[in-house]
Chain A
Amino acid sequence: MRQIVAVGPETAVRAHVERYDRFDDAAIAGLVGVSEACADGIGAPRYESVSDALRETDADGVDVCGPGAVHGDALREALDAGVPARCDPPFALDGDAFDGLVSLASDGEGWLTAYSPHRFSRLYDRLRTDVDAGAIGSIGVARIKRTAPFDGAGWNSSYAGISAAADPVDALCAVLAHDADVLEWTFGAVERVFARARSGGRYDHVHAMFAFREGGRATIETTWSDEWTPEPRVDVEYSGNQGRLHFDEHDTLTALRNGGDHGQVAPPGDDCRGGALRAFLERIEGEERPPSAVDPEGPSRAVVAVRRSVAEGRPVTLTEEGSR
C-alpha cells in the first residue's frame, strides 16, 4: 500500500482523494493546504506543511493537486526529503524556479513527474496514436483554442486546482501548459515561442505560437475567466500534409445527456486524472529510479518561455539549458 500526501486547494484535493480511494494499493497519509473540516471529512490527518507531513508519516509520494508552479514550496520540500512528487504542469513559471527544481530533483533521491492528465485520456491517446500511424502525414499546423475555467469533472478534469493561481497570466499559463504538454508529447520538442496576453474585466486571454524543432507550427489560444463561467469550449485541430484530425467540445460532451446537462461517463478512477494518478503510483512502485529526475521538462520550459515572451514582446528560443 502506497502512502500519499495530497497537497492543494480543497476542491482539487477532494477530486484526487476520490480517485485514490478507488485504487487498492493507495492510501492518503496526510493532507496539506486544506481545512480541518475537510481533513476530518476525508478522514486523514492535516499538516501545516509537506515537511511536517513527511516527518510525521511514512509517505511514499507527494501529490500536488494542481499546477506545481502554484505550490513550489511543497515540491521543494518533497524533493528535499528525497520523496517522489507529482503535479500538473507547469511546475515552474520562471527560469529560476525551473532551474531550482530541476537541480534539486537531479541532485537528490526524489523525482518529479508533471504530465498533463490529458495524456491519460482516451481521446488524446487516440489522436497521438493516429498521428504516430501517419494519419495526417507530417504536422503543418496544430491549433488549440480553449475557454476556461472548467468547473466539474469529465473531460475538463485535467484543470482541477488552477483557480488557485494568483495572477491572470499565471492562470492562463496553467491552462496552456496542458496543451503544451500534449503538443510536445505528440509532435516533439518546441524550439521557439511567441506569445501575447491581455487581461481585463471578465476575461483574460493569451495566444501563443510555437515552432516545433521538427518544423511544424502550433497555436494555442486560451480565454480565462475566474469570475464568470463561459460555456466550456475547446477546439483542437491537427493539420498535416496528408490530412487533418479535429474535435471540439461537442465531440467530448455528447455521450451522455440529461436534458441540457452532460453526464460524466467514466468513473473517476478511470478518467484522465485517475490515469495520471495511477501512473504516479506505478512509477513509485517501480524498482528503478526514473531515467529523468524531472519528467517532462519541456512543457514547463515552454510555459516559462511563454511568460518571458509576453513580458518582453519578442520570440523566445528554447535551448537545452533554459529559455533564452
Chain B
Amino acid sequence: MTVDVGICSTDHVNAEVYAALLSELPDANLVGISGESRERVRKQANSVGAAAMSHQELMDAADGVVICSTNAAHKALVDLALRNDVAFLCEKPLATSLATAREIRDRCAESDVVAGMAMPIRYSRPMRRLKEQYEAGAVGELIAVSGVNRGRMPGGWFVDPEQAGGGAVADHTDHIVDIVRWITGEEIEEVYAETTTRFYDIPVEDVNLLSMTLSNGASFIMDGSWSTPQKNSFWGDADVELVGTEETLAADCFGYRYDHVSDTGHGRHTESIYWGADPNNALLRDFVAAIRGESTLAAAATVDDAVRTAAVIEAAYESVERGEPVDVDR
C-alpha cells in the first residue's frame, strides 16, 4: 500500500530536504505541499512533481504530513492534523513556550493519530551505535557528557523571537539534549546558560552555551551556537562524547565526509560532502511505515520528548535572566 504524504508549510529550511526525500520513497506518494507563500509553495511543489495546496486541501489529501512551519505555527497545524486524523512529524522545537508544548502534548494524548518529531538524529547510525555501546556498559558509570550542534545562522523568521521563540537556544538545543536523553535514559535536572549576540546584528542570541546536570549526576556541556561561518565547507555539526569511569566514547553524526575543491574560474570554493547513511531518509521511511501500520515509530522522538526539551530551553532562558543555574521543570 502506498501512502499519501505531504509537506505542511515551506517556512522551515528543511521543507525542501524532506520534500525531495519523500518524493523518492517507494512506499510514499508525495501528493502536495502547502503553505502561505503561494509562489514559494508552487516552486517547491513543481520541483518534486507535487501539487501546491492550502493546508486544509493537504489534510484532505494526505495520510501523513511533515510540519515545517515557523515554531509559533506548530500548535495550529498540529491541531489541524489531529482534527483531520492525519499522521504528522513536527519540526523542532515543538512550541515557542513550555506551556504551549504541554498543550500540544495533551491534545495529542487524546488522539491515536501517529505523531512524532521531525528530529532525525536518533536515526543516525553513529548515534545508534553509541547508544548500543552505552547500554552494553562500555563507558562504565557516566561521568560527563559533551555535545555540539552548531550551525550557520539561518536568518528569516528564525531570528524573530515571536515566530521562533528565541534564537540559537530555541533552534539548537533540541537535537543534542534529546539524543543524550535517548542514549543515556537520564533526564536534564539543572541548566546554566551563557548566551549573547556576537556573530550577527540580530534581535536574538546567536551564542548558546549550556552547562547541565543529568539525573545520575553527570555533567553535560553543550554548544549550540550559530557560530558556523556562512562560508564554512559544511553546514555545522552534531557530535556527542560520553566520558565514563571505564571509557570515553564519541559519535559524530556527520563524520563521514569528503572534500570537493572547486576551481572553475568563479573563485575557489571548498565544499565538504556527507556520504554516510542519511538519517533524514531513515526517519521518513519509519514515518511512512508507521502510517502503513508496519512500525510504531518507536525510534523517533515523541511529542512528549519534545516537551522535555522545551522544559530545558525554558530553563536556559530563565537561567540567562537570573544569572544562575535553574532547575528544569520536568
Chain A interface (Cβ < 8 Å from any Cβ of B) = 138-141, 143, 145, 147, 194-205, 207, 209, 211, 215-217, 219, 221, 223, 230, 239-241, 243-244, 313-315
Contact = CB atoms under 8 A, between A and B. Distances in A.
Nearest to B198: A140
* Contact residues of B: prevailing secondary structure: loop
Contacts of A205: 143-144, 219, 243
Contacts of B199: 140, 239-241
10 contacts: A194-B211, A194-B325, A197-B219, A198-B144, A201-B244, A209-B194, A217-B198, A219-B209, A223-B248, A240-B199
B207 A141 contact: yes
Interface in B242-273: 243-248
Given A202-B246, A205-B243, 17 more contacts: A141-B198, A147-B248, A196-B219, A200-B143, A201-B140, A202-B247, A203-B245, A205-B144, A207-B219, A207-B221, A239-B199, A239-B229, A241-B198, A241-B200, A244-B227, A313-B325, A314-B324
A291 B144 CA distance: 42
A217 B143 contact: no
A145 B198 contact: no
Contacts of B143: 198-201, 203-205
B191 to A, nearest CB: 11
Contact of A203 (B198, B211, B244, B325): B244
Contact of B232 (A147, A207, A219, A244): A244
A139 B198 contact: yes
B34 interface: no
B228 to A, nearest CB: 8
B207 A230 contact: no
Given A196-B213, A207-B211, A239 B246 contact: no
Nearest to A136: B229
B227 A201 contact: no
Given A138-B198, A243-B229, A230 B211 contact: no
Contacts, number: 109
A147 B144 CA distance: 13
Nearest to A192: B194
B184 interface: no
Contact of A216 (B198, B228, B243): B198
Contact of B227 (A140, A204, A207): A140
B243 A217 contact: no
B154 interface: no
Nearest to B250: A233
Contacts of A313: 325
Interface of B: 140-141, 143-144, 146, 148, 150, 192, 194, 196, 198-200, 206-207, 209, 211, 213, 217-219, 221, 223, 225, 227-229, 232, 243-248, 323-325
7 interchain residue pairs of minimum CB distance = A201-B245, A140-B198, A205-B144, A239-B227, A196-B219, A207-B221, A198-B143
Nearest to A205: B144
Contact of B206 (A140, A198, A223): A140
Contacts of A209: 192, 194, 209, 211, 221
Contacts of B324: 314-315
A197 B219 CA distance: 7
B217 A198 contact: yes
Contacts of B198: 138-141, 215-217, 240-241
Contacts of A207: 144, 146, 211, 219, 221
B245 A200 contact: yes
Contacts of A315: 192, 323-324
B246 to A, nearest CB: 6
Contacts of B245: 200-203
A106 B148 CA distance: 43
Contacts of B218: 198
A131 to B, nearest CB: 14
A198 B219 CA distance: 7
Contacts of B140: 201-202
Given A141-B198, A201-B244, A205-B143, A196 B211 contact: yes
Contacts of B141: 200-201
Nearest to A313: B325
A145 B243 CA distance: 13
A217 B229 contact: no
A204 B143 CA distance: 8
A93 B213 CA distance: 24
Contacts of A140: 198-199, 206-207, 225, 227
Contacts of A141: 198, 207, 209, 223, 225, 227
A196 B141 CA distance: 17
Contacts of A239: 150, 199, 225, 227-229
A35 B191 CA distance: 49
Nearest to B227: A239
Contacts of A139: 198
Contacts of B227: 140-141, 239, 244
Nearest to A237: B227
A217 to B, nearest CB: 5
Given A141-B225, A194-B194, A198-B144, A203 B248 contact: yes
Nearest to A210: B194
A182 B36 CA distance: 51
Contacts of B229: 239, 243-244
